A = this chain, B = another copy of it.
Amino acid sequence: MALLVQEYLDRIRAEHADAADGALADYIPELARVDPAGFGVSLSSSDGFVYESGDAGVEFTIQSISKAFTYALALDRIGEVAVDARIGVEPSGEAFNEISVDETTRMPKNPMINAGAIAAVSLIPAGSADERFALIHDFYSACAGRRLDLDVDVYESEKATGSRNRAIAYMLQSFGVLDDDPDEVLDVYYRQCSLRVTTTDLARMAATLARGGSNPMTGRRVTTSAVVKRTLSVMVTCGMYDAAGDWVSAVGMPAKSGVGGGIVAVLPGQLGIGVYSPLLDDKGNSVRGVRLCRSLSEQLGLHFLAVSRESRAAMRAVYEPLEGVRVYETHGDLSFCGAEQVVRTVDREMRGFDVVILDVSRVDDIDDAARGLLSGMSKILRAQGKTGYVVDPGGIMTDTEAESDGVRFRTVDDAVAAASSR
């Protein structure tokens, strides 16, 4: 039944699949020769279930997406106060590779630009560059739920072409932001940027943040919810684009992109998303990746200012009034995430009963994405020889076929009666 969500994902991805605008990053040969047609997306629910569409298995380098995670690691290791003494949290309004240091504080404006990211690397406490990279490597891998590999070619190319970053690192040293040797810090930074991920890795890393620091697949707590809250806060205002207002309005998910073509986006408490398409706009963001994030947000209602209340929805109670008859009582506002949870639960539990009664009588509101999922669920149940009833006195599922085939009831008792008299 995961197929239902899958269909959504495939359809939204397909809307953008034909676009071919944008250009490959070309400052190093490794990035310039990837397949420009690559296009994948993965969604991880906060309990670790992953949907994939397109090139979700293709590996690419994480690049600047790493900034969010190294910042989280720095916060985890030395605490907010110590990190805040070296890196700000305000948008920079500048291109990602400018030297953006706050005039007054002499600190990088935020950890999502190179200056702040290099500073963040230097804040990871370690006795050597190798040890520092090992900590970073472990942290990313714990978020992804598997051991990530280093792309040695990319690492070496990055290192060979990095005069901009050397400029930044020396500037930071001159401002007293960087205590360690600039070249050693940069070496770790280049390694971190060269770790290879798939969109599914990114989705799991995002879901780890969405879950407040626990990897939903492995169950391992990677960092604290306080670290995650701060990291997501900074992603909101500094993660994507200069135009933070537009991103918050239109997408409403903390996010971070990389020139490798990846984007990670987090719907706190709900979802982790990973996207890949290596054709970049002139700001270095994946062209199709950005569009896909917008479409996902719009069509699935994934916006952090919208989901909170709806997230209380989903299942209020589950019970079996009769042998073989199971009632799923939902309430609140039903949006994509809630409906996905219902659908997947039913899917998982379907084997043990014959009749599923979906009670939406306490649901206040339902959006199209949720209605589509639940409506699809009835259809699949029937296809598998089960009976699916809907208790919908207010007709909020109207316009769906549920209504048309006599499976809609005004009360649970009516539905149970119908079930018992089958």
With the chains together, A238 CA to B91 CA distance in Å?
12
User: Does B212 contact A236, Cβ atoms closer than 8 Å?
Assistant: no
- Among A226-243, those with CB < 8 Å from B are 228-230, 232-234, 236-238, 243
User: Does A269 contact B234, Cβ atoms closer than 8 Å?
Assistant: no
Q: How far is the CB of A171 from chain B (nearest CB, A)?
A: 4
Count of interface residues, chain A, beta-carbon cutoff 8 Å: 58
Number of copies of this chain in the oligomer? Answer: 4
Partner of A233 from B230, B233, B238, B249 at Cβ < 8 Å: B249
With the chains together, A254 CA to B237 CA distance in Å?
13
Q: How far is the CB of A49 from chain B (nearest CB, A)?
A: 15
Q: Per DSSP, are chain A's interface residues mostly helix, strand or loop, or mixed?
A: helix
B residues near A171, Cβ cutoff 8 Å: 99, 163-164, 167-168, 171
- Among A306-335, those with CB < 8 Å from B are 306-312, 314, 317, 333
Partner of A270 from B164, B249, B308 at Cβ < 8 Å: B308
Q: How far is the CB of A148 from chain B (nearest CB, A)?
A: 25
B residues near A317, Cβ cutoff 8 Å: 317
Q: Does A174 contact B (CB under 8 A)?
A: yes
Q: How far is the CB of A98 from chain B (nearest CB, A)?
A: 8
B residues near A174, Cβ cutoff 8 Å: 163-164, 167
User: Does A212 contact B248, Cβ atoms closer than 8 Å?
Assistant: no
B residues near A225, Cβ cutoff 8 Å: 306, 333, 365
User: Does B46 contact A309, Cβ atoms closer than 8 Å?
Assistant: yes
With the chains together, A303 CA to B228 CA distance in Å?
12
User: Does A305 contact B233, Cβ atoms closer than 8 Å?
Assistant: yes
Q: Does A295 contact B (CB under 8 A)?
A: no
Nearest B residue to A312 via CB reads: B311
Q: Does A244 contact B (CB under 8 A)?
A: yes
B residues near A375, Cβ cutoff 8 Å: none
User: Does B312 contact A312, Cβ atoms closer than 8 Å?
Assistant: yes
User: Does B89 contact A269, Cβ atoms closer than 8 Å?
Assistant: no
Q: Mark A243-265, 1 if CB is under 8 A from B, else 0.
A: 11110110010100000000000
B residues near A234, Cβ cutoff 8 Å: 245, 248-249
Partner of A252 from B168, B170, B229, B306 at Cβ < 8 Å: B229
